[in-house]
Structure 1
Amino acid sequence: MGSDGTAGSRLALRVAQVALLVRLGLLLLLQVVWLLRGDGVLSVPVVVAAVFSYVALSSSRVRALVARHPILVLLDVVLVAVVVGVVGVDTPFVLALATSALVVGLWLPRVPGLLVVAVLVAVHLTLLAREPVDEATVTAFVIVVPAVLVTLWLLGVAIQRTAAVESRTQAALRDAMSVAATSQERARIAREMHDTIAKSLQSMALTASSLPAHLERRPEVATQRAKELEADCTAVIGQVRELMGELRTESAQVPFCDSVAQVVDEWRSATGRRVTVRLEPVDVTDSLVRYELLMALREALDNVRQHAGRCTTRVSLGAEEDRVTLQVSDDGRGSETEHVAASPERGHFGVAGMRERMELVGGSFAHDTAPGRGTTVTFGVHRRGLVERTTEVMA
């Protein structure tokens, strides 16, 4: 049983503790009855044995020892069998053997457990042979008690097998989740490199390709382009370092609204743009949802920098029940709906990337824009990632 896993061992220990506690309660009740009848002295050894068994399994050290060496449950069997033999096998205390049979089924392999139960039945019948046997005794102690012992042993075996199957299932589930998490992390890194580093490198390549022509005709423009190229290189290095940092460490355990404020502050410092912020104290419990929302926010702010022109940007965060809404809006130039829809065909994946991020976590995405009235981007998602419908670009 110890090899079947921690979960199976915990289940077996719990059932064993409950069985021994039930045994203790029944024996204490029978002891009271015997005391009222004047025969309580003989019941003391059995009650002591029951208390000893339960206290032993209540100790964490003993539980760990039994989990490593299930054969130790035989001590309970031997102890109870000896005491029942002393008190008398034709007494109600023979029921103590029933819990021993259950414990054997819980902890020992089937073949050794069957041998132990067979020995228990043989000992019971041997001790019973020394007593005068009448018809009632034959029915109660020769037929019923052995049947109860075998039945409870089979019940223990069934629980042991169920615990083993559960343990293997949990192990397989953990392995599958680990593989899925690895694949998901690889996809996230690939998407992150595409959305940030690849776009920056593409811009740098275009700038570099224009340098020869500018050097021949307009050296002052070439100098300006070279400075822009240097700045872009610095930005790419920062993006690579940020991505490497995310691979080395886990995200900080800070409230989600604080993480949003940090992203906005970094963007404000880098661009010098005016931003108004309205953030409710909203937290998001799912780590993947947190990550995708923050990266979508970065993408939306970057789109403002590239396409909105001079404007005021507004960022808001709110929640209604379990649905989180993050919105980025500006009063800049705006654009035609057809222009936004055709962006992926021209190699610009900002809006498409934000939509994909929300689809990944089962969220919703809306992009509302028109020439002269700015752009509003809205992300909606269940804070634990429940599936919602993704909306298309609106005029």
Structure 2
Amino acid sequence: MTTPATTTPASRALATFEAEASRTTSLLRFGLVGLVALGAVLDPARVEGPEFWSATAVYALFAVVWLARVLRRPVSPRTGLVATAVDLVAITVLALFAGGGGTLPTLAYVLVPVLAAFRYRPELSAAVGVATILSFLVTAAVERAPVAATTLAAEAAVLALVAVATFLLAVVLARRADRIRALLADADALTAQVLDAEARERRRLAEELHDHALQTFIVAGQELDELPGAEAADDALRAGVRELREVVFALHPYVLDEAGLVVAVRRVAERTAERAGFTVTVTGGDLDPSPHDRLLFGVARELLTNAAKHAAADAVVVGMADADGTRTLEVTDDGVGLDRSVLGARLADGHIGLASVRARVEGVGGTFTVDTRERGTRTVVRVPR
């Protein structure tokens, strides 16, 4: 089961990048813990044993808990600042327990701006860099063993250089994110234009058929009614009129505008079931009109057509509902299931029905999920309401 789709493809893509950055920085935090501990092992004479190792254990526990947190659910940059603040406080405390400035644990400060560059916008990354330098200067001011001023100055210079480099890295990453956001927004706009153009063309063709060809057939049928011995021709013409009405309905379901999504889907489901020989159940309450109803109707029609052609199903259930700002369409059948390898082959051969449907749904910020088993397929589509 996927989460409700209330975002655009651009925001979802950037959220994915943010989640990856959260996981990466959480793993790198173990490097901070290891670097601090290594410094204490290499210079044990300056370490206040119990206090230092107790603080190290607490910091390591925090690293484990935070990693579990981000693996379960991504955190926002604002929440991530809490972890960065903990990093600075922990390294400062550990450096003080290890003798202050000029000790190996202070080298861990170098990693803090690097972690920030992965996650934050340039201004926050710069703030973290400044805070890191200030924290280092605090430890340098209280060292308990004599350390050459040139050594401390060199370490501070290196740390400042790292802070500047990571700030510039954050600038580059932010520009790339903005560019990705712009490109995906353009893709969203193009998808919307394509869908609108297709809907307009379908409507035009439906109106042309209804107002001209269909009316001509109806008049011809009325003329045949008055001719003796023309029953066979009249029956064939009436069958043609019915088929033409079906084509008009497929091109532009006027009932969707007049009676709403549930009625329109029920109508096409019942017609498909009658032709394919399966039973169909359509559920859905009184749904208010939504900007994406025409898209959902097209998705339902495609899924029902697939069930009729490929599933060999005995029963199909179609459900529609609104919840949490999304509109959901769910189509379940008890057919033969969907072999994903076969689906890939069909796509390679040019059968792009499901791929096209998925692209349209995701183009408006929705999700398209297929759950296939040995017997039956369940498809759930969610779009913003």
Question: Normalising by the residue count of structure 2, what TM-score does the alignment of the two structures yield?
Answer: 0.53
What is the aligned partner in structure 2 of residue 185 from structure 1?
A: 195
Distance 1:211 1:258, change over 3 A: closer
What is the aligned partner in structure 2 of residue 94 from structure 1?
A: 106
The one of 21, 26, 33 equivalent to 1:24 is: 33
The one of 173, 176, 181 equivalent to 1:171 is: 181
How big is the shift at 1:11?
Answer: 4.5
Residue identity in the other structure for 1:44: W
Question: Normalising by the residue count of structure 1, what TM-score does the alignment of the two structures yield?
Answer: 0.52
How big is the shift at 1:288?
Answer: 8.4
CA–CA distance in structure 2, aligned partners of residues 191 and 168 of structure 1: 35
What is the aligned partner in structure 1 of residue 241 from structure 2?
A: 233
Alignment of 1:261-340 (within 5 A): 283-285=345-347, 289-291=351-353
CA–CA distance in structure 2, aligned partners of residues 47 and 293 of structure 1: 52
CA–CA distance in structure 2, aligned partners of residues 204 and 293 of structure 1: 33
Tell me if 1:44 matches 2:59: no
CA–CA distance in structure 1, aligned partners of residues 349 and 151 of structure 2: 62
The C-alpha deviation readout for 1:168-221, integer Å capped at 9, x for no partner, is 334333333332223333444455567788558654344356568768xx7237
What is the aligned partner in structure 2 of residue 79 from structure 1?
A: 90
CA–CA distance in structure 2, aligned partners of residues 41 and 254 of structure 1: 72
What is the aligned partner in structure 2 of residue 132 from structure 1?
A: 146
CA–CA distance in structure 2, aligned partners of residues 209 and 82 of structure 1: 93
What is the aligned partner in structure 2 of residue 368 from structure 1?
A: none
What is the aligned partner in structure 2 of residue 119 from structure 1?
A: 134
Secondary structure of 1:284 counterpart? helix
Gaps of 5+ in 1: 263-280, 295-395
CA–CA distance in structure 1, aligned partners of residues 205 and 311 of structure 2: 19
Distance 1:126 1:30, change over 3 A: closer
What is the aligned partner in structure 1 of residue 319 from structure 2?
A: none
Residue identity in the other structure for 2:352: R
Secondary structure of 1:69 counterpart? helix
Residue identity in the other structure for 2:179: T
How big is the shift at 1:81?
Answer: 0.7
CA–CA distance in structure 1, aligned partners of residues 61 and 81 of structure 2: 17
CA–CA distance in structure 2, aligned partners of residues 49 and 155 of structure 1: 30
Residue identity in the other structure for 1:252: L
**8 Å contact kept, 1:24–1:50:** yes
Secondary structure of 1:59 counterpart? helix
Q: Percent identity?
A: 13
The C-alpha deviation readout for 1:102-151, integer Å capped at 9, x for no partner, is 345544715533541342243133124x5424xxx3343321x2123223
The C-alpha deviation readout for 1:296-318, integer Å capped at 9, x for no partner, is xxxxxxxxxxxxxxxxxxxxxxx
What is the aligned partner in structure 2 of residue 219 from structure 1?
A: 227
Residue identity in the other structure for 1:47: T
**8 Å contact kept, 1:97–1:149:** yes
How big is the shift at 1:55?
Answer: 1.8
Residue identity in the other structure for 2:160: V
Q: Which has the larger radius of gyration?
A: 1
**8 Å contact kept, 1:125–1:142:** no
What is the aligned partner in structure 2 of residue 339 from structure 1?
A: none
**8 Å contact kept, 2:221–2:238:** no
How big is the shift at 1:92?
Answer: 0.9
Distance 1:30 1:55, change over 3 A: same
Gaps of 5+ in 2: 1-10, 254-264, 269-293, 314-341, 357-385
Secondary structure of 2:192 counterpart? helix
**8 Å contact kept, 2:224–2:234:** no
Tell me if 1:141 matches 2:141: no
